[in-house]
Structure 1
Amino acid sequence: MVIDGFDVPEDGSAADHAADLLVRVAAGDQGAFAELYDMLSSRAFGLILRVLVDRSQSEEVLQEVFLEIWQSASSFAPNKGQGRSWVLTIAHRRAVDRVRASQASADRDVRVGVRDAHTPQEGVVEQVESRIEGRRVVRALGTLPDPQREALTLAYFGGYSQSEIAALVGAPLGTVKTRMRDGLTRLRQEMGVTS
């Protein structure tokens, strides 16, 4: 038998043995499940790896396959087909499902990327206003005493916390907090902010 270009030999004794094991697995026989796993897992893994190429994903899918076999062995009909074929068909179907799911996820990512790429960018007016406002802030910062300007610059442009600023400038935390509060008050006054 050939599944996805993968030659799966069906000699009667091994196929019959797989069918017998599946019947026992359907009855909850864990030993039969372990034997079935030992007999077919490497073949199923090879088939899955051939479809997915990625080894770690193939290992995940192999686990899913044998979980499905454990859960649905009762649906195997020995009079309708070979046990090995039934197991390998499940493996192939699960591998193809994983490829489709990965492709669907990639397609969604592309759609989101395309949508985000077409969102309107900030207009010229907004850019000019932002630059003017930035210059006003820089000028207002220039009017502050050095310790206040340094604390505010480290906090708002450097992203440092008040504790980190205290460590950087070698000042007590309370002093840094006071410098920042006084500096912000003065900045508001310089920029004409009344609230």
Structure 2
Amino acid sequence: MLDQRRAEVEAMIARVALGDRQAFESLYEATSGKLHAVCLSVLKDRAAAEETLQDVFIQIWNHADRYAANGLSPMTWLITIARNRAIDRLRARQGRPVQAPAEVAASVASPTPGPEEETIRRQQRRLLESCLEQIGETQANALRTVYLEGASYADLAERSGTPINTVRSWLRRGLLRLKDCIGQ
């Protein structure tokens, strides 16, 4: 089984050396998982490992003719390429200045809204509540139920014991009145 697999990979590499794209695709499908794992084990960063894997396969495409079938596993040749490319990328990354954790933390935006955004949200909420009070209880309740609570038109029709077309009319008229109120 292993000899057969080795022969298949060697044949794919030989066809890649001749520029066979289908063989290259087959080689990628057969070996990319293992080569990605090699890159990931060296780099400890999924994105960098994926980029390195692309470089590895470009190098395989360009240098497949250098592979010599010598009875050893062709995976050894492929893994060596992957490992060396990953180490090269790691060395290049280590040459860059590393940001201190405080600098990194300062550059990440906080997911919570700031004071200005919080004030704007409160004002918008007050305006919405004021306009909902002005448009009438039936339409306001329909709008709250559907657009704030997430109920469907059918759910609202069932809850209120009203035909669905009546519910649609309430919502349509309510939205138009709400639009007019907010636009003032």
TM-score normalised to structure 1 length: 0.48
Structure 2 counterpart of 1:106? 97
Partner residue of 1:58? 49
Aligned AA (2:51):
E
**Deviation, structure 1 residue 81:** 3.3
State how 1:4-83 maps to structure 2 within 5 Å. 11-79=2-70, 81-83=72-74
> Which structure 2 residues correspond to residues 32-181 of structure 1 after superposition, within 5 A?
32-79=23-70, 81-106=72-97
CA distance in 2, matches of 1:40, 1:89: 13
Quick one: which amino acid aligns to residue 48 of structure 1? C
Q: What is the CA distance between 1:82 and its match in structure 2?
A: 2.3
**Long gaps (5+) in structure 1:** 1-9, 111-195
- The alignment partner of 1:105 has SS state of coil
Change in CA separation of 1:12 and 1:106 when aligned onto 2, cut-off 3 Å: farther
Instruction: Give, in angstroms, the shift of residue 80 of structure 1.
Output: 5.9
Q: Show structure 1 runs of 4+ deviating over 4 A.
A: none
2:146 equivalent in structure 1? none
Structure-1 separation of matches of 2:11 and 2:58: 18
Query: CA–CA distance in 1 between the matches of 2:71 and 2:87?
Result: 23
Q: 1:103 deviation in Å? A: 1.1
CA distance in 1, matches of 2:44, 2:96: 17
- Give, in whole Å, the separation in 2 of the partners of 1:72 and 1:35: 17
Partner AA of 1:98 in structure 2: R
TM-score, scaled relative to structure 2: 0.51
Relative to structure 1, the CA distance from residue 17 to residue 53 in structure 2 (aligned partners, 3 Å threshold; closer, same or farther) is: same
Distance 2:63 2:81 in 1: 11
Q: Which amino acid aligns with 2:39?
A: I
TM-superposed deviation, 1:11: 2.5
Distance 2:23 2:69 in 1: 16
CA RMSD in angstroms, aligned pairs only: 2.1
Amino acid at match of 1:101: A
Which of the pair has more CA radius of gyration?
A: 1
- Partner SS, residue 68 of structure 2: coil
Alignment partners' CA distance in 1, 2:71 and 2:59: 19
How many residues are aligned here? 100
Report how far residue 73 of structure 1 moved.
0.2
Alpha-carbon distance in structure 2 between the residues aligned to 1:81 and 1:70? 20
CA shift, 1:55, in A, is: 0.6
